[in-house]
């Protein structure tokens, strides 16, 4: 059954761990709901716990996970639901698939300087601190394929509060 409001939009928030995707996507989702939109928030970590317990963290397994997320987003959007998906998924193949297969797709690349990423990430993925960096980390030992044509690039370096970053995003996306 398709909802009366037609095809939903997929807002794909992508970037490295610690860039602030989940925080920004949560605020953005709240704004969409306040505007009367039917919206669901999908976070990459929660999606992995729900659907990807058969996968590890190699490049190939991460790509498989990203493609599962993309197909789920398309399925929900086809039912008339807006979907905000916050996931690393820095693969050109996934980004290209989304553009070709999701009728209403908006890509938001969230970026931050490496030192900010390292300071934000409690798991110490990027090295430093008492523990060694983890293996299979996107941007460290798994290459990150930054979006080639994002609808918007957001620098989330902590100089502005997240709500101000979402204000800019909201305006730039014409919402």
Q: What is the mean pLDDT of residues 31-56?
A: 91
- For the chain, the domains span 10-172
Residue 7: partners with Cβ closer than 8 Å, 6 or more residues away: 77, 78, 80, 103, 104
Please tell me whether the overall predicted TM-score, pTM, comes out greater than 0.85 for this model. yes
Q: For the chain, what is the mean pLDDT?
A: 85
Evaluate if residue 6 carries a pLDDT over 80.
Answer: no
- Supply φ then ψ for residue 17, to 5 degrees: -60, 130
What gap in Å lies between CA 98 and CA 119, rounded to an integer?
Answer: 31
Q: Which residues of 129-147 are buried (b: 16+ CB within 10 A; e: fewer)?
A: eeeeebeebbbbebeebbb
pLDDT band for position 79 (cuts 50, 70, 90): very high
Which CATH class for the 10-172 domain? alpha beta
What's CA 90's distance to the chain center, in Å? 9
3-state SS assignment for residue 170:
helix
Residues assigned a catalytic role = 89
């Amino acid at each position: 059954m398709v909802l009366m409001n037609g095809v939903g939009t997929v807002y794909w928030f992508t970037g490295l761990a610690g860039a602030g995707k989940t925080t920004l996507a949560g605020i953005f989702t709240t704004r969409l709901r306040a505007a009367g939109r039917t919206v669901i928030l999908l976070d990459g970590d929660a999606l992995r716990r729900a659907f990807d317990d058969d996968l590890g963290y190699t490049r190939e397994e991460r790509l498989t996970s990203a493609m599962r997320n993309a197909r789920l987003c398309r399925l929900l959007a086809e039912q008339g639901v807006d979907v905000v998906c916050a996931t690393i998924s820095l693969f050109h193949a996934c980004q290209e698939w989304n553009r070709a297969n999701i009728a209403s797709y908006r890509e938001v690349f969230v970026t931050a300087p490496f030192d900010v990423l390292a300071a934000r990430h409690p798991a110490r993925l990027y090295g430093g601190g008492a523990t060694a960096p983890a293996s299979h980390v996107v941007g460290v030992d798994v290459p990150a394929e930054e979006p080639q044509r994002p609808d918007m690039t957001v620098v989330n370096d902590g100089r502005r509060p997240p709500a101000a970053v979402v204000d800019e995003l909201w305006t730039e996306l014409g919402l």
